[in-house]
DNA sequence: CTATTGCAGATAAACATTATCCACGATAAA
DNA sequence: TTTATCGTGGATAATGTTTATCTGCAATAG
């Protein structure tokens, strides 16, 4: 079982975007720089987040990304599913049917118990991720992490966030 | 997030082996046939299970595999970890350190909160899998599944299991 | 001795992930 | 209106992992 590296990038970016003020945005290039990531590839993941309506994007100069809703209403599950897809990790291939003894399909109406058990475990996984809000991640970071790191992070955000023309959607 | 197909094969094989009597064994080729799997590749997974001491193997003609302990003491977690490895799904690349602002390593002694949250979720996943015993899978199968399927499965096991020369380890 | 079976390693084929690039539409600022 | 910046989408390559096969070897029942 393995999660792609994009998950880590996506969560860090979302956490950073939680720090921008009002409806300001931050460019993808800034976030790529902040984490030492490939800018062109990071765009792919940010796009997934935008498609899932976790982020909003603004085109043009002074454009960039911002959270589409408050950090309290974004869970790690939202982000993980957006980046990794909503498919369960265990996919039942129904190999029990593939043997030389071919029974009628009616013999397999009951769902495979193995599949059920695996799905139940994944449900527990997702429930735990759903509990973890982006706002918790941020506030734990602010209280627990080394002050130098927090200061550097805040400075970076302050330096790179870009105010918008007022306009459009909802404002803080 | 994705689990390899080997997990499904491994669990089905283990469940089938739970049906063999005493210290009898079943050949890998028989199990491959039962599930329509590639025999040579299935061996790889069975080997993982043997290395993890979930299965025991017997060489030679009339050889094969059997459970290394009772089905009550084998959990789905045991099997998943044996086949997929013990690494957590989320691997923290510490990308928070990779930005242009290089802080001293002492600024990062506290573990990354994102990593902690992801690991916590995976802990819940593993706990759920640890609860699921192979014996539960088997007994639910026997009571819930279509009688035709159960009968066919039992017949297959009875036909392919092979008694051993008494000898060796522990007997039922 | 021989046939069957599991084991280890090399290797190939198929697929997924990671990464880069380019043409494009949007837009803020000059 | 022009220009430069930025996100979007698609094409494409580089890389790595999973899946699969094969071969030679050790074990062993008959």
pLDDT at B46 over 90: yes
Largest CA distance in chain B: 68
Q: Which of A162-171, B93-102, B163-172 has the lowest mean pLDDT?
A: B163-172
Residue of B99, B101, B106 lying closest to A146 (CA atoms)? B106
Domain B5-90+133-160: state its class. mainly alpha
The b/e string for A102-131 (b: 16+ C-beta within 10 A; e otherwise) is eeeeebbeeebbbbbbbeebbebbbebbee
Chain B residue with Cα closest to A155: B101
pLDDT at B167 over 60: no
pLDDT at B116 over 70: yes
pLDDT at A166: 63
- Phi/psi for A25 (5° steps) reads -125, 170
pLDDT at A99: 83
pLDDT at B78 over 80: yes
- Supply the mean pLDDT for chain B: 93
Cβ distance of B98 and A35 shorter than 8 Å = yes
Cβ distance of A120 and B132 shorter than 8 Å = yes
**CA distances (Å), origin B123, targets A128, A159, B87:** 9, 38, 12
**Can you give the residue ranges of every domain in chain B?**
5-90+133-160
User: What element of type H or E holds B55?
Assistant: strand B55-58
**CA at A154, C1' at C19: how many angstroms apart?**
29
pLDDT at B15: 98
To the question of domain A5-88+134-160 being in CATH 1.10.10.10, the answer is yes
The nt closest to B165 (CA vs C1′) is D29
**CA at A41, C1' at D13: how many angstroms apart?**
14
What is the rounded distance in angstroms from the CA atom of residue A88 to the CA atom of residue A82? 13
What is the rounded distance in angstroms from the CA atom of residue B57 to the CA atom of residue A81? 40
pLDDT at B172 over 50: no
pLDDT at B1: 86
All residue ranges of chain A with pLDDT < 50 are 167-172
Least Cα separation, residue B133 to chain A (angstroms): 10
Mean pLDDT (whole number) for B43-61: 97
Q: What is the pLDDT of residues B117-158, one digit of tens each?
A: 999 999 999 999 999 999 999 999 999 999 999 999 999 999
pLDDT at A170: 39
- Residue A21 half-sphere exposure toward CB, CA atoms < 13 A: 9
pLDDT at A101: 79
């Amino acid at each position: 079982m393995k999660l792609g590296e994009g998950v880590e990038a996506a969560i860090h970016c979302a956490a950073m975007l939680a720090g921008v003020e009002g409806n300001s945005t931050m460019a993808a290039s800034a976030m790529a720089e902040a984490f030492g990531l490939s800018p062109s590839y990071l765009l792919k993941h940010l796009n997934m987040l935008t498609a899932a309506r976790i982020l909003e994007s603004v085109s043009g100069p002074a454009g960039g990304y911002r959270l589409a809703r408050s950090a309290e209403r974004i869970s790690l599950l939202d982000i993980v599913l957006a980046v990794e897809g909503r498919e369960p990790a265990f996919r039942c291939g129904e190999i029990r049917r593939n043997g030389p003894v071919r029974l009628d399909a009616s013999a397999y109406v009951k769902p495979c118990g193995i599949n059920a058990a695996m799905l139940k475990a994944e449900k527990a996984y997702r429930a735990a991720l759903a509990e973890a809000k982006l706002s918790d991640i941020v506030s734990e970071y602010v209280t627990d992490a080394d002050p130098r790191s927090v200061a550097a992070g805040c400075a970076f955000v302050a330096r790179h966030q870009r105010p918008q023309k007022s306009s459009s959607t909802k404002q803080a």
